[in-house]
Amino acid sequence: MTPSINIEETVLHGHPVRYRTVGEGPPLVLIHGIAGSGQTWEDVMVPLAKGGHTVIAPDLLGHGESAKPRGDYSLGAYASGVRDLLSLLGHDRATIVGHSLGGGIAMIFAYQFPERTERLVLVDSGGLGKEVSFAIRAASLPGAEYVLPLLASTPILSAGSAIAGALGKIGLKAGPDMEEVGRSFASLGDLRTRAAFIHTVRAVIDPDGQRVSARDRLYLSAGVPTLIVWGDRDPIIPCRHGREAHELMPGSRFEVFEGAGHFPHRDDPVRFVEVLLDFIAANDPAWLEEEHTRELLRSGAGA
C-alpha cells in the first residue's frame, strides 16, 4: 500500500508550525528555500518514504502555512527551529537535506548540532559563494518592501505570459523553475510573509551578493557524509559553488543534474530519489565525538 503524505501542525514557542510527513524509519528532514514551503518536496516524499524513512518537510517560520511572527529570521534561528521540531516529534538525529536557503540552514544545523546530524545533503545551496541572481539581491535593497507588493499583486500575477517572459529573461526555464518562483511571488502578496521574506533576505544577502558564507568552515564536515546536488542550468546560484564546495569537503559526493535549473528535485524527482537513497545506503550515519571536532578546529586554526 502506497503511503500518503500527512499535513500536520504543532506549536513551537507559541507559534503554529505546519509540516508534511510520511513513512516510518530513520528521519529524513527536507528544508525548503526562501519564500518556499514544504510543498516543493511533495514529488519526492513518498518515494523516499518507501525507501524506509520517516520523511519530514516543515514550512519554516515565515513561510507557507507556518506562523509569521516578528522575530529572528537568521540562519541560526531557522536551524534551531528545525532542531526543536525534531525534538518535539521525538527524533534525536536525522539526515538533513536543504535546498537553496535551506542548504544554508542545513549547514548551520550540522555546525551547531553535529551530534544530531547523521548525513548532510545540499541542493543548489546558498552560503557557498558570493554570486546570486540580481532578482534576489534586489530584494535586499532599501525600499524593496514597497516594490514587492506591486510585483505580487493579483493583476500582475494573473498576467501569466508576461510573468513567464520576465522570468525567462533572467534565465528561469519553463517548468518547475517558473512554477516554484511563481508560487513564491504569489506568497508575497501576504504582508506578514513579505516582511519575513525581507528579513530573511537581508540576514544573508546584500546588494553585492551573499554575505554569509560557510566556505571557511567546510573542513569541519570531515566525518559527516555529505552529498551535493546541483542543476547545471541554475540561474540563481551558479553550479560552480557546488563544485568548489565539493573540493573543500573531504569525502563529499557531487552530483550534477544536466539540464536542470534551481530545483533539481522538481526537474528530475526520480533521479533525485535514486541518488539520495543510494547515498544514504552507502554511508553510515555520522557519530562525531567532541574530540573529533576539537582536532579539526586545531588543524584548521592555522589555515
Helix 160-169 × helix 176-187 angle, to 10°? 110
DSSP line for 21-90: EE--SSEEEEE--TT--GGGGHHHHHHHHHTT-EEEEE--TTSTTS---SS--SHHHHHHHHHHHHHHTT
Known active-site residue 100: yes
**Which among 43, 124, 177, 234 is annotated as catalytic?**
234
Among 86, 88, 102, which Cα is nearest to 28's? 86
Question: Look-up: residue for cell 501542525?
Answer: 9
- Tell me the C-alpha distance between 185 and 148, whole Å: 9
**Which among 100, 140, 213, 221 is annotated as catalytic?**
100
What is the distance of C-alpha 9 from the center of its chain? 20
Known active-site residue 234: yes
**Which among 262, 265, 267, 268 is annotated as catalytic?**
262
Residues tagged active-site = 100, 234, 262
